[in-house]
Amino acid sequence: MLLFWRTLLALPQAWRQRRKVFDQFFEIGNASLLMVCVLSFFIGGVIALNFGPALVERSFTNAVGGVVGLAIAKELAPVMMAILIAGRIGSAMAAEIGSMSVYQEIDALRTMNINPIHYLVLPRILAIAVALPLLVIFSVLVGWFGGATVANFNHLMDIPYQVFLANLKDMVGLKDVVNGVFKSFCFALIVGTVSCHQGLTTIGGPRGIGRSVTKAVVNSIVLIVVFDYLLTRFMAQ
Amino acid sequence: MNPANSNSSGVGLVVRGLRKSFGGQEVLKGVDVTVQPGEIFVIMGPSGSGKSVLLKHLIGLETPDAGEILINGEPITAPEVAARYRMALVFQSGALLNSLTVGENVGLYLAEHRLKSPAEIEAVVAEKLADVGLKDAMNKMPAELSGGMKKRVAIARALVIEPQFILYDEPTSELDPLSAVVIGNEILALNRKIGVTSLVVSHDRDLAFGVADRIAVMAEGRILTIGTPDEVNKFNDPLVQSFLRADFKREN
């Protein structure tokens, strides 16, 4: 919490650190886009496969697009992408900053009067806070397409693309997508803050770095799931 | 460290009754040291004697449990005082940022504090690297450098700050004798050239007696003696003498 508060106080420095923010942003996008694409397509597909036949069997064919669309937009895309980013980017952040702590690079920054929060933490948290919601929007679209594709080609459903998307449009509003994107923004702050904190507090040698990486990922995932419930509860009211 | 302060003359340092414990173990047990402006002061002692911890207190990376550190008579723990003086630490490992090139490492202080334009920074970096004999290393990554080169880059990075007080943590550890001499000569040349007060922490006897104006010998968190190299060499204390005379004995 203290690190998050200090990062908020450092926000006026954001423009000065813009190059590092863009570097981190590119790193996150470059490292995750293909994985997001594959993961989202199959998540959409598997949701359609799980719920579609049961709904069709009970004559709720018109609900398949909506159920898949809602599940992906409100829940699966934000949570799965946040967990993916915690594993892929959060771990890398904790390892990089942890290694800098262990090898005195952060002490070196301090002796040069360079604040590690401005130099290391702020750009990473800003980049992830922008990148994750964008990845979630991309994930939602790919997930919908994955669901529509499976619904179209699976012989138990045989729902054409146009029908699936029309049903989806009927049940899923912009508000639902915004809810999911807002959740992903909160998850991004959690992943960024937890990972940077673990990195900065790393002690010991390579084993300490490994421990920090594990803690960064595990703590992020636990907090994502807890906050997912709290945010869903809050937004449902 | 105030970059606007252009006064480059060395500063004096007084350490009084400095104490520090980690997890109940007292590492510094009341250290008293006075470093005169412009002198090269070497703190020697066996590994684990508290030398590096003392150094971290002087640069502000640790806060003491008790005692005070005065720079030109003012307490260094006050942020406004610390901000008035330019100090630099050359880390034992070099502590170069591995994700940056040598040139970016050396120019980091100027770039982050926006003290000069990119072209001016490049010129300063080239000049400082040339000062330490590494003018061709600007675009190399730290991983491509030898241990001695890393330490010289770390010295160049410290010089960019135009320090009034420069601290060296074990500058010749892990170096071959030739590289150690290069580093020792570098410390002497900088002190003579810009009058910077230099505090060297080392257990290298050759370096200490080669560059020091005065030497302090430290053991178990205490200063055992302070004096000129001659005085320390003649100091009649079994612990000091055993440290200074330690040698291999080969029986035929």
Q: How far apart are CA A170 and CA A175, in angstroms?
A: 13
Q: Does residue A35 fall inside a structural domain?
A: yes
Identify the band that residue B2 occupies on the pLDDT scale cut at 50, 70 and 90.
very low
Angle at the Cα of B21 from the Cα atoms of B93 and A199, rounded to 5 degrees = 50
Q: Does residue A12 fall inside a structural domain?
A: no
Q: Does residue A11 fall inside a structural domain?
A: no
pLDDT for position A1: 72
pLDDT for position B28: 92
Q: Does residue A10 fall inside a structural domain?
A: no
Contact B93 A104 (CB under 8 A): yes
Q: What percentage of chain A exceeds 70 in pLDDT?
A: 100
Q: How many domains does chain A have?
A: 1
Tell whether A105 is within 8 A of chain B (Cβ): yes
Residue A124 has pLDDT above 90, yes or no: yes
The per-residue pLDDT for range B134-167, each reduced to its tens digit, is 888 999 999 999 888 898 899 899 888 888 889 9
Residue B95 has pLDDT above 80, yes or no: yes
For the ranges A214-223, B126-135, B161-170, the maximum mean pLDDT occurs at A214-223
Mean pLDDT of chain A: 91
Specify whether the CB–CB gap between B173 and B204 falls below 8 A. yes
Q: Does residue A6 fall inside a structural domain?
A: no
Residues from chain B contacting residue A107 (CB–CB below 8 Å): 56, 61, 89, 91, 95
Residue B55 has pLDDT above 60, yes or no: yes
Tell whether A101 is within 8 A of chain B (Cβ): no
Q: Which CATH superfamily is domain B13-86+163-245 in?
A: P-loop containing nucleotide triphosphate hydrolases (3.40.50.300)
Domain range for A203 is 17-236
| Average pLDDT value for residue range B104-121 | 92
Q: What are the sequence ranges of the domains in chain B?
A: 13-86+163-245
Q: Which residue of B has its CA nearest to A19?
A: B112
Q: What percentage of chain A exceeds 90 in pLDDT?
A: 64
Contact B95 A107 (CB under 8 A): yes
Residues from chain B contacting residue A113 (CB–CB below 8 Å): 1, 109, 113
Q: What is the distance in angstroms between the Cα of A35 and the nearest Cα belonging to chain B?
A: 25
Tell whether B1 is within 8 A of chain A (Cβ): yes
Q: Does residue A130 fall inside a structural domain?
A: yes
Q: Which residue of B has its CA nearest to A113?
A: B1
Residue A18 has pLDDT above 90, yes or no: no
Q: Which tops the pLDDT comparison, A221 or B51?
A: A221
pLDDT for position A204: 85
| Average pLDDT value for residue range B25-52 | 90
Identify the band that residue A10 occupies on the pLDDT scale cut at 50, 70 and 90.
confident
Residue B3 has pLDDT above 50, yes or no: no
- Structure pTM? 0.83
Contact A105 B98 (CB under 8 A): yes
What would the 3-class secondary structure string for chain A be? CHHHHHHHHCHHHCCCCHHHHHHHHHHHHHHHHHHHHHHHHHHHHHHHHHHHHHHHHCCCHHHHHHHHHHHHHHHHHHHHHHHHHHHHHHHHHHHHHHHHHHCCHHHHHHHCCCCHHHHHHHHHHHHHHHHHHHHHHHHHHHHHHHHHHHHHHCCCCCCCHHHHHHHHHHHCCHHHHHHHHHHHHHHHHHHHHHHHHHHHCCCCCHHHHHHHHHHHHHHHHHHHHHHHHHHHHHHHC
Residue A71 has pLDDT above 60, yes or no: yes
Q: Does residue A45 fall inside a structural domain?
A: yes
pLDDT for position B7: 45
Mean pLDDT of chain B: 86
pLDDT for position B52: 85
pLDDT for position B1: 40
Q: Which tops the pLDDT comparison, A40 or A237?
A: A40
Q: What is the distance in angstroms between the Cα of A19 and the nearest Cα belonging to chain B?
A: 12
Q: What percentage of chain B exceeds 70 in pLDDT?
A: 96
Identify the band that residue B252 occupies on the pLDDT scale cut at 50, 70 and 90.
low
pLDDT for position B6: 40
Q: Which residue of B has its CA nearest to A96?
A: B99
| Average pLDDT value for residue range A196-211 | 92
Q: What percentage of chain B exceeds 90 in pLDDT?
A: 37
Residues from chain B contacting residue A112 (CB–CB below 8 Å): 1, 88, 108-109, 112, 157, 161
pLDDT for position B5: 40
Q: Which tops the pLDDT comparison, A9 or A183?
A: A183
Residue B8 has pLDDT above 80, yes or no: no
pLDDT for position B4: 37
Judged by DSSP in three states, B185 sits in helix
Of B93, B98, B109, the CB nearest to A112: B109
Select from B61, B104, B128, B157 the residue whose CB has the most chain A CBs within 10 Å, as the one to mutate to test that interface. B61
Contact A113 B113 (CB under 8 A): yes
Residues from chain B contacting residue A119 (CB–CB below 8 Å): 112
Tell me what ipTM this predicted complex has: 0.81
